[in-house]
Amino acid sequence: MAVYRIEGCQWNCYPNTTVLINKLNITDQKELGDIEKQITLLRGIQAEQSTEFINVDFEFYKSLHKMLFGDLYDWAGTLRTINISKKGTVFCDHSELEKLGVLKFRRLAAADYLCGMTDSAFQKEIAELYHELNMLHPFREGNGRTLRLFITLLVRHTERDIDFTKCSTDTLIIAAIKAAQGDISMLRDVFGEIISSSI
């Protein structure tokens, strides 16, 4: 579970804790993290196998978050209403999330969801998209897992494949931080290593 700096850090948490209020009423952070990991892993596998890549817009993206986290949180699939930052990276202001999210997905649709590109062009565009959606960070929790699920579905839609297990979590985080600082080259390299040309 991510450790964020949050406006009103106990927002939607149990009293005197930073443990998110959840449907299972788990009040221990480690226990919640363990259960969350198990549930979202299962739901992610199911989503990869059953989700059709159609009508892909910002609402589709929100629905992926709900698939992953709906067993745990009442607010799964809804946008955060507070501002958050992590490790020096300040994410999109919550008041801009809906507008920017809609625009990003309209632009993606206009680009035919990156279909028909050369591998080098695709690698550049997927890195840029990952960075932009990461900076959006639209949810209170679970942004990385939702983003990786969406990128997996998108990559497969272009008749390529992707394997995030080929890249350590730390490497991906470092690449994302560098991208937030203006250097996207490491993120492009990461995607070059974990995406195969065809499925």
- pLDDT values of the chain reduced to their tens digit, one per residue, 199 residues: 444 455 545 678 999 898 999 999 999 999 999 999 999 999 999 999 999 999 999 999 999 999 999 999 999 999 999 999 988 889 999 999 999 999 999 999 999 999 999 999 999 999 999 999 999 999 999 999 999 999 999 999 999 999 999 999 999 999 999 999 999 999 999 999 999 986 5
Q: Which superfamily is assigned to 5-196 in CATH?
A: Fido-like domain (1.10.3290.10)
| pLDDT score of 198 | 64
For residue 62, the tally of other CB atoms under 10 A from its CB is 19
pLDDT at residue 10 in the model: 64
Contacts of 50 (CB under 8 A, 6+ apart): none
| CA 180 to the chain's CA centroid | 15
CA distance 138 to 143: 7
**What is the distance between the alpha carbons of residues 134 and 144, in angstroms, rounded to a whole number?**
7
- What's the residue count for the chain? 199
Q: What is the pLDDT at residue 133?
A: 98
How would you write 68-80 as a 3-class SS string?
Answer: HHCCCCCCCCCCC
Q: Name the token pair of 136.
A: 């959006």
The pLDDT of residue 11 is: 74
**pLDDT at position 180:** 95
Q: How far is CA 81 from the centre of its chain?
A: 17
pLDDT given at position 87:
80
The whole-number pLDDT of residue 110 equals 97
CA dist 8 → 44, 84, 142, 165 (Å) = 30, 10, 18, 34
The whole-number pLDDT of residue 8 equals 46
